[in-house]
């Protein structure tokens, strides 16, 4: 990023130097002199800013800043003089003198800024990676100077627009239009520096980029529309030397111009014009990257106008290889971190389920088996892999609320009293309160709260009935009851497979959801060797191994 910014700055300086050289060669009027003054002040400002970027200490940065301001304080004034002359406006000489004296005073204030608070009320220098970071408060003179610059901008744009609208010569109007575009471009980047995002403006002064782009646009006015009559020089030293590739297409889709960087990217451009145009149009319209020579480019399209009619399109290709590589690396890292988070959450669920099972010595492995049965029921119902995995996780922690129930009650071998059974029933609400706090996986709380609801409405804790009970809870309910009947408990021994089957049939429609119960019966019928019990049941879900591998 820092290297790219330095590269942009070097390009800006070179472009300004070339423009200054061209203007200097044609220096034969006030207009040329004012334009040269503007270019020179911009050049000094950009050179100073280059040293700012390379500064690594507060003193070095302040020296570079003062060098930059040696040009910067005159930029707005120089443009003011240029626009006044270009628009043929007679301005009183004493106002020009006052403005010049103000700029001189501004520079004197900047040179002595460490001795007072007129320009910066305070300032702090730090490094943000390779970028120097200079933060400051604005003093009264700084605010006055910035207000003056804004006045220059508003005045210049207003006068240029008025003059352009009054101009009858088409060529002159085109020149004025391009100059207005250049001015607007620099103004936008100036405003971006003042009001733009801090993470950008603290790293790079966007006014420098604005001056570079404005310079390029001015060159178009100078060379393409004879502002200084140097068309061929512009093509040679600017357009054909830009790092970005440029392809111009007329309204009929025919290529009318391309620069040397574009020719380097498309060696067979002359023979494949239609193919190149199609590629650029698709890339610009769909924001689609173009891989060329192990690099990745993006295309931007700008409409070209001739008067009020569209004359064509210009395509500019940017080398965004570094950006795409960074995005690819970021996506890869996000995937790794997401997988790590999923694995951690899964391991925590396993730990929680084992914690609950360990508290009740008669239900060891219960949560894991319920999760297996529930996920397999969901699979046979035609649920997606994602839904199966969610239900599996819900099954793992459906009894987490038993953490809040005393071990004496959980492990009691004799019949529970009404008060003790009321305590047992609270585990659904306790589990819901625990899991409801996990906002990233909100569905976990569903199975915990409602897996003891009955299809006929006689369950707890909320007495829900039928399809008012969440489907996942209805699935876990039948799986939970199946495991209870096929396991050793404080109050019962494992039942035979036939007895369990008969009980599920008997309770279908009253305790169990008919759909979930029907599939549970299918699973029983498929289990010829009666492996779905407290000694087995760990590999019932057909997608279990794939799920475990995805968590590894």
Does residue 421 form part of some domain?
A: yes
- Residue 19: CB atoms within 10 A of its CB come to 27
Helical ranges in 131-226 per DSSP H: 140-166, 170-195, 198-201, 206-219
Do residues 414 and 516 both lie within one domain?
yes
Please identify, among 241, 272, 295, the residue that sits at the C-terminal boundary of a domain.
241
Confidence of residue 310 (pLDDT cuts 50, 70, 90): confident
Q: Is the pLDDT of residue 458 over 70?
A: yes
Residue 198 confidence (pLDDT): 66
Backbone φ and ψ of 292, nearest 5°: -140, 130
Q: Is the pLDDT of residue 150 over 50?
A: yes
Do residues 198 and 288 both lie within one domain?
no
Do residues 228 and 127 both lie within one domain?
yes
Confidence of residue 154 (pLDDT cuts 50, 70, 90): confident
Angle between helices 58-86 and 93-111 in degrees, nearest 10:
170
- If you average pLDDT over residues 465-494, what whole number do you get? 89
The three-point CA angle 162-71-118 to 5° equals 95
Strand partners, 135: 124
CA distance 450 to 168: 82
Residue 89 confidence (pLDDT): 77
Residue 233 confidence (pLDDT): 34
CA distance 16 to 50: 14
117 vs 166: which has the higher pLDDT: 117
Alpha carbon of 409 to those of 423, 482, 488: distances in Å? 8, 22, 16
Of 310-314, 431-435, 451-455, which one has max mean pLDDT? 451-455
- If you average pLDDT over residues 221-243, what whole number do you get? 50
Q: Name the average pLDDT for the chain.
A: 81
Residue 478 confidence (pLDDT): 96
- Residue 137: CB atoms within 10 A of its CB come to 12
Do residues 20 and 166 both lie within one domain?
yes
The three-point CA angle 453-377-451 to 5° equals 15
Q: pTM of the predicted model, to two decimals?
A: 0.42
Confidence of residue 171 (pLDDT cuts 50, 70, 90): low
Residue 201 confidence (pLDDT): 63
DSSP, residue by residue, 272-314: -HHHHHHHHHHHHHHT--EEETTEEEEEEEEEEEETTEEEEEE
Residue 9 confidence (pLDDT): 82
489 vs 523: which has the higher pLDDT: 523
Does residue 332 form part of some domain?
A: no
Do residues 356 and 460 both lie within one domain?
yes
Residue 235 confidence (pLDDT): 44
DSSP, residue by residue, 228-269: SS-HHHHHHHTGGG-SSEEEEEETTS-EEEE-HHHHHH-TTT
* Three-state secondary structure call for residue 19: helix
Do residues 31 and 64 both lie within one domain?
yes
Residue 302 confidence (pLDDT): 84
Do residues 125 and 258 both lie within one domain?
no
Cβ pair 365, 357 in contact under 8 A? yes
209 vs 459: which has the higher pLDDT: 459
Domain of residue 353, CATH code: 1.10.3210.10
User: How many structural domains is the chain composed of?
Assistant: 3
Q: Is the pLDDT of residue 360 over 90?
A: no
For tokens 């520079």, name the residue.
107
Name the burial class of residue 409, with classes exposed (0-12), middle (13-18) and buried (19+) by CB atoms within 10 angstroms of its CB.
Answer: middle
CA distance 283 to 314: 13
Do residues 302 and 371 both lie within one domain?
no
Residue 545 confidence (pLDDT): 78
- If you average pLDDT over residues 113-136, what whole number do you get? 84
Tens digits of per-residue pLDDT, 29-54?
677 788 888 888 888 988 998 898 88
Does residue 171 form part of some domain?
A: yes
For residue 125, give the nearest of 56, 63, 193 by alpha carbon: 56
Cβ pair 431, 449 in contact under 8 A? yes
Helical ranges in 306-451 per DSSP H: 321-359, 366-380, 385-396, 407-410, 418-425, 427-436, 444-450
**Which percentage of the chain shows pLDDT scores above 70?**
82
Domain of residue 266, CATH code: 3.30.450.20
Residue 424 confidence (pLDDT): 86
Does residue 326 form part of some domain?
A: no
Q: Is the pLDDT of residue 237 over 60?
A: no
Does residue 337 form part of some domain?
A: no
Cβ pair 395, 474 in contact under 8 A? no
Domain of residue 179, CATH code: 1.20.1070.10
Residue 511 confidence (pLDDT): 95
- If you average pLDDT over residues 489-507, what whole number do you get? 87
Residue 334 confidence (pLDDT): 58
In angstroms and rounded to an integer, the radius of gyration of the C-alpha atoms of the chain is: 38
343 vs 321: which has the higher pLDDT: 321
CA distance 540 to 261: 63
CA distance 149 to 126: 27
Residue 524 confidence (pLDDT): 94
Residue 230 confidence (pLDDT): 36
- If you average pLDDT over residues 134-138, what whole number do you get? 84
Residue 229 confidence (pLDDT): 42
Lowest mean pLDDT among 121-130, 234-243, 249-258, 507-516: 234-243
Residue 83 confidence (pLDDT): 79
Do residues 33 and 64 both lie within one domain?
yes
Q: Is the pLDDT of residue 17 over 90?
A: no
Please identify, among 285, 319, 353, the residue that sits at the C-terminal boundary of a domain.
319
Please identify, among 196, 222, 241, the residue that sits at the C-terminal boundary of a domain.
241
Backbone φ and ψ of 235, nearest 5°: -60, -40
Confidence of residue 463 (pLDDT cuts 50, 70, 90): very high
CA distance 482 to 93: 100
SS (H, E, C) 421-468: HHHHHCHHHHHHHHHHCCCCCCCHHHHHHHCCCCCCCCCCCCCCCHHH
333 vs 464: which has the higher pLDDT: 464
- Residue 102: CB atoms within 10 A of its CB come to 16
Do residues 201 and 272 both lie within one domain?
no
Does residue 223 form part of some domain?
A: yes
Does residue 32 form part of some domain?
A: yes
Do residues 94 and 217 both lie within one domain?
yes
Q: What is the DSSP letter of 223?
A: I
Cβ pair 282, 298 in contact under 8 A? no
Do residues 67 and 151 both lie within one domain?
yes
Tens digits of per-residue pLDDT, 83-94?
787 776 777 888
Angle between helices 497-507 and 471-485 in degrees, nearest 10:
150
Does residue 77 form part of some domain?
A: yes
Angle between helices 30-54 and 2-25 in degrees, nearest 10:
160
Confidence of residue 232 (pLDDT cuts 50, 70, 90): very low
Tell me the HSE value of 343 on the side-chain side, using a 13 A CA sphere.
11
- Residue 28: CB atoms within 10 A of its CB come to 9
Domain that holds residue 509: 345-551
Lowest mean pLDDT among 295-299, 306-310, 429-433: 306-310
- If you average pLDDT over residues 102-118, what whole number do you get? 90
For residue 475, give the nearest of 526, 542, 405, 523 by alpha carbon: 523
Residue 537 confidence (pLDDT): 59
């Amino acid at each position: 990023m820092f290297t790219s910014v330095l590269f942009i700055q070097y390009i800006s300086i070179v472009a300004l130097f070339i423009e200054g050289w061209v203007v200097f060669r044609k220096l034969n009027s006030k207009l040329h002199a004012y334009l040269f003054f503007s270019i020179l002040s911009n050049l000094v400002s950009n050179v100073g800013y280059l040293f700012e970027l390379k500064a690594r200490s507060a003193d070095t940065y302040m020296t570079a800043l003062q060098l930059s301001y040696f040009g910067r304080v005159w930029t707005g004034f120089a443009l003011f003089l240029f626009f006044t002359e270009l628009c043929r406006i007679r301005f009183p000489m004493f106002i020009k003198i006052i403005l010049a004296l103000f700029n001189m005073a501004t520079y004197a204030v900047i040179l002595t800024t460490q001795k007072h608070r007129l320009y910066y009320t305070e300032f702090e220098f730090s490094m943000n990676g390779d970028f120097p970071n200079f933060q400051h408060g604005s003093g009264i003179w700084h605010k006055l100077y910035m207000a003056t610059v804004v006045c220059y901008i508003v005045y210049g744009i207003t006068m240029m627009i008025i003059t352009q609208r009054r101009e009858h010569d088409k060529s002159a109007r085109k020149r004025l239009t391009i100059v207005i575009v250049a001015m607007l471009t620099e103004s936008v980047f100036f405003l971006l520096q003042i009001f733009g995002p801090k993470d950008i403006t603290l790293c790079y002064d966007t006014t420098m980029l604005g001056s570079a782009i404005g310079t390029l646009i001015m060159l178009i006015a100078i060379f393409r529309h004879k502002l200084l009559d140097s068309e061929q020089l512009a093509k040679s030293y600017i357009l054909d030397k830009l790092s970005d590739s440029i392809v111009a297409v007329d309204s009929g889709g025919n290529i009318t111009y391309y620069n040397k960087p574009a020719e380097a990217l498309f060696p067979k451009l002359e023979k494949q014009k239609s193919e190149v145009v199609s590629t650029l149009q698709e890339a610009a319209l769909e924001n689609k990257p173009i891989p060329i020579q192990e690099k990745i480019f993006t295309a931007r399209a700008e409409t070209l106008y001739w008067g009020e009619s569209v004359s064509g399109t210009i395509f500019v290709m940017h080398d965004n290889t570094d950006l795409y590589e960074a995005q690819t690396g970021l996506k890869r890292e996000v995937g790794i971190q997401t997988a790590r988070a999923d694995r951690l959450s899964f391991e925590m669920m396993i730990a929680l389920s084992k914690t609950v099972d360990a508290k009740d010595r008669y239900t060891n492995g219960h949560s894991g088996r319920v999760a297996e049965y529930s996920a397999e029921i969901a699979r046979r119902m035609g649920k997606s892999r994602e839904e199966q995995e969610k239900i599996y996780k819900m099954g793992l922690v459906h009894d987490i609320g038993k953490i809040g129930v005393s071990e004496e009650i959980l492990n009691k071998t004799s019949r529970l009293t009404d008060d003790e059974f009321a305590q047992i029933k609270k585990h659904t609400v306790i589990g819901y309160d625990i899991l409801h706090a996990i906002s990233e996986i909100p569905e976990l709380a569903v199975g915990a709260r409602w897996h003891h609801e009955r299809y006929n409405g006689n369950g707890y804790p909320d007495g829900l009935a039928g399809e008012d009970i969440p489907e996942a809870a209805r699935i876990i309910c039948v799986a939970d009851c199946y495991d209870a009947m096929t396991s050793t408990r404080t109050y019962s021994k494992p039942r035979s497979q036939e007895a369990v089957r008969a009980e599920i049939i008997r309770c279908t429609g009253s305790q169990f959801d008919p759909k979930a119960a029907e599939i549970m019966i299918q699973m029983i019928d498929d289990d010829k060797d009666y492996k779905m019990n407290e000694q087995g049941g760990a590999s019932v879900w057909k997608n279990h191994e794939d799920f475990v591998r995805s968590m590894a």
